[in-house]
Every structure is written in C-alpha cells, then in structure tokens.
Amino acid sequence: MLTKTQIDAAIRACKGETILNDGARERGGGSLKLRIRKTNSTPSAVWVATWKKNGRRGSKDIGRYPDLSLVDAREKFKEDIKPLVKTVARPAVAIAAIGTKPTVENLFTQYVAHLKAREAGAAHHIEQVLLLGKYNAADALGRKTLAGDVTPSDIRAPLAAAAKRGALRTADILRTYMSSAFGWGMKSENDYTTEANYDWGIKSNPVAAVPRDARANKTRERNLTATEMASVWAALSEEGSADVVRLVMLCGQRVQETIKVDGCEVDTVTALWHMPAHKTKGRKRPHTIPLPPQAVEIFKRLKRWRGDGQLFPARKGSTAERMGFLSVSHYVAGLKCCAPFQPRDLRRTWKSRTADAGVDRFTRDLIQQHAKNDTGSKYYDMASYLPQMRAAMTKWGVWFENNVVKAAKKKDDTKMAA
C-alpha cells in the first residue's frame, strides 16, 4: 500500500511518467493507481481506477492529487468503483455515469475534462468561457438544465446579450465553444473507440440552427511599418512581456508559442529554437527555426536568469498561471508610441517586413509553419530546409538591425539630447 511519503517522493523524482499502484487487495475488484507526469511547471498526479473484466481492460480518472488525498481516493475507489467492477458487465459505462446527470453543467465539465486529458492547448480558455467566466455559458443556459432540452432560442439569448454589449468576437467564441461541446456530447454516446459511452440525450446540436455573425470575423490587416517597429522597440522596457514582444518581432512565431518556450528548447550556440510538437498550434509536428542574432542575445540573457525551465513564467497564483500563459495584451495596449495594435499583429508584421528584407514567400511560410500543408509536402517532402531558413534569418537580422534597432537608438539619443 502506498504512503503519502512515497507519493511525494515520487512526484519530486518524476522525469517523465510514473505509475504508482496502491495494490489490488481483492481479486476481480480492480486497482487504484496514481499516474504522475512531468509538465512544464510541476508534475501532475492523477488517481486512476483500473480493472479487467471479460478480457477487456478499462480505466477511469477519479481525481487529482493532492486535491483528492490518499485516504479519500481509497474511500472513493472502495465505495464507488469496486462494487461496479465486481457486479456490472460493462463497468466503464456505469462508472462514467456515477453522480452524473445529463445536465448542461455536467456536459460542459465532461467536455473540458476530455480536452484536458488530450492536453488540448485551448482547454483552460474553453473552461473559462463555458463554466467559469463572468458571462459563462453554463449560467446562461441554466446549469441544471438537461442538455437534451436546450433549444436554439436558448443558445441565441446569451449570444444576443453579448452582441448588445458590443462584444461581437466574444459572442462568436461563445457560439463556437458551445457548438463543440454539444457536438462532442452527441458523438461521445456512439464513440466506438472508447468503452465509456454516455447518453446526454442530445438529438441534434442546438447551436447549428444559430447563424454566425459575419461582423465578428473581420480579417485583420494591421501591420507595423519599419518606423513604427523602431518606435515600439525604443519604447519596450526590460519586463518579461517586453521580451515576448521583442521575440515575436524577431522570430515571427505565435505569441503563445513564444510565451511557452523553455530554456532547454533554445540552443544559443547553433542559434536554433527547437519547438516540440505539443507546443505548436497543430500539435502534430515539431518545429525548428534558426534565430537572428538579436534573438540569440535575448535568449542568452533569459537563460542566464531562468536556466532550462520556463523563460516566461506567470506570477504564482495569478489567473495567467492557472490558464498556462502570460498575458501580453495589456502590456502592448499600454504602449503609446504608435497607432494601436495587438500582439498577434506582430506576426503579420514579421511576414510583411521580411518580404521587404528580400525573403521569399515559401521560406517565410516555412518559418511561420504555414508551408508544407498540401498532401505532397506532408507525406513526401521530408526536407528540413534549415540552410534556406538560416540564410533568410541572417538576411532578416541585417534588415532588422539597420531599420529597427539603429532607428530606435537614434530616437533614444534624440530624446536624451532634448
């Protein structure tokens, strides 16, 4: 049997994934295990009930440690899980339904849990929109409302309220996430890849009958000129958010990808940033890009300070830390050096200004993970194009130094002289 001391020691020593078994004290009753996995910050530990019935294995996450203590996990396993494993022909179905009614709240909760189990990057944001935020969907639809009783008019009400507040984009995101949750509820009942099916009573997706608002999806075109880039560069402080802005301007990667970078993923000797697959938007393929000289210097400074861990950790206990990212939007909004822009506009700026530096379209697409999406490229073209990308980043570094860094220094010198 496990002890708290053993568990805490295993969590501290975990380098990848570790499974601790609390033991099967009765044949045919299943086992209680603790699955420990290393994450970017601290290892996560989840209690898992496992069993084998009629030649089929099954498992069910029943809580996180230490939120669910060793004593409580044993009690939950003994009282709720083991009797079903011993007596029910299909334990997974019965266990999945423990304490669950097909309500809107439970549907959204199970959907978010499904996303977190898959380590979906947007899981925390979806949880905010559906369950936790000020204008969350669960409250708007009624948390105790049966999911199968929700109608298109019920869906329309919170969207109309958001539109009335002027939050068109928020309404569109709310509609998208609700549609995904109801769609998942319909599919989960008939998902043949899992034993734990559940009938939410949803016959058709109520969101499908509510049209999208075309006004909420206007294509942004804002990109900064070289002069504006110099003004921004001169206005940046030494704070963490400022370095995120600098690196997005220099490397052209997504803001969230930049925020999540670990020191161990950046080789300042070879000037390469190795982005693992799970940190990319597609979460399917790793991405390696050469770094311009200015980015190498920034990463050297950050690694001297943070080492091989997170280079942009959020403040402990903050909303940003709980959601897994550091907000740069507020910082950028406070820069009054040029016309307003959003952090993601810097990625569009990189794409536009690297053309001014003489970098061809295909190479720019490679660096920004926009290339190799056709069938021939995905399945047959295994070339890395690293020399081509390195030459492009070298060219970009020269342009950036001449048009941004030096221009920013002139602005600073002028201010000091005044």
What does the block give as tokens for 201?
Answer: 């009573």
Predicted pLDDT of residue 301: 94
Final residue in a domain of this structure, among 72, 96, 120: 96
Q: Are strands 56-65 and 266-267 parallel, antiparallel or unpaired?
A: unpaired
Q: Are residues 70 and 174 in the same domain?
A: no
pTM: 0.65
Partners of 32 in beta bridges: 49
Q: Taking Cα atoms as reference points, which of 293, 259, 304, 280 lies closest to residue 370?
A: 280
Predicted pLDDT of residue 322: 40
Which amino acid would we find at residue 374?
A: D
Average pLDDT across the chain, whole number = 86
Q: Are residues 266 and 397 in the same domain?
A: yes
> What is the tens place of the pLDDT at every residue in 216-256?
777 788 999 999 999 999 999 877 789 999 999 999 999 98
The pairs formed by 210-218 with CB atoms below 8 angstroms and a separation of 24 or more are: 210/152, 210/155, 210/156, 210/159, 210/175, 212/172, 212/175, 213/159, 213/163, 213/168, 213/171, 213/172, 215/168, 216/168, 216/169, 216/171, 216/172, 217/172
Q: Are residues 380 and 240 in the same domain?
A: yes
Q: Are residues 299 and 338 in the same domain?
A: yes
Q: Are residues 311 and 374 in the same domain?
A: yes
Sheet with strand 56-65: strands edge to edge: 17-21, 31-37, 44-53, 56-65
Q: Are residues 210 and 240 in the same domain?
A: no
Final residue in a domain of this structure, among 96, 114, 149: 96
The domain that contains 295 carries what CATH number? 1.10.443
> What is the tens place of the pLDDT at every residue in 63-73?
889 888 999 98
Q: Are residues 323 and 194 in the same domain?
A: no
Structural contact between residues 326 and 312, judged by C-beta atoms closer than 8 angstroms? yes
Question: How many distinct structural domains can be found in the chain?
Answer: 3
Q: Are residues 88 and 113 in the same domain?
A: no
Q: Are residues 388 and 267 in the same domain?
A: yes
Q: Are residues 255 and 342 in the same domain?
A: yes
The domain that contains 61 carries what CATH number? 3.30.160.390
Q: Are residues 262 and 409 in the same domain?
A: yes
* Domain span including residue 242: 226-417
Q: Are residues 159 and 284 in the same domain?
A: no
Final residue in a domain of this structure, among 96, 131, 159: 96
> What is the tens place of the pLDDT at every residue in 78-90?
887 887 777 766 6
- Residues 6+ positions from 214 with CB-CB distance below 8 Å: none
Percentage of the residues of the chain whose pLDDT score is greater than 90 = 47
The domain that contains 193 carries what CATH number? 1.10.150
Predicted pLDDT of residue 324: 38
Mean pLDDT of successive 10-residue segments in the chain (418 residues)? 89 86 74 84 82 82 87 86 74 64 88 83 89 92 91 94 90 95 87 67 91 83 94 87 94 93 96 93 88 96 93 65 59 90 94 96 94 81 92 97 93 68
- Residues 6+ positions from 78 with CB-CB distance below 8 Å: none
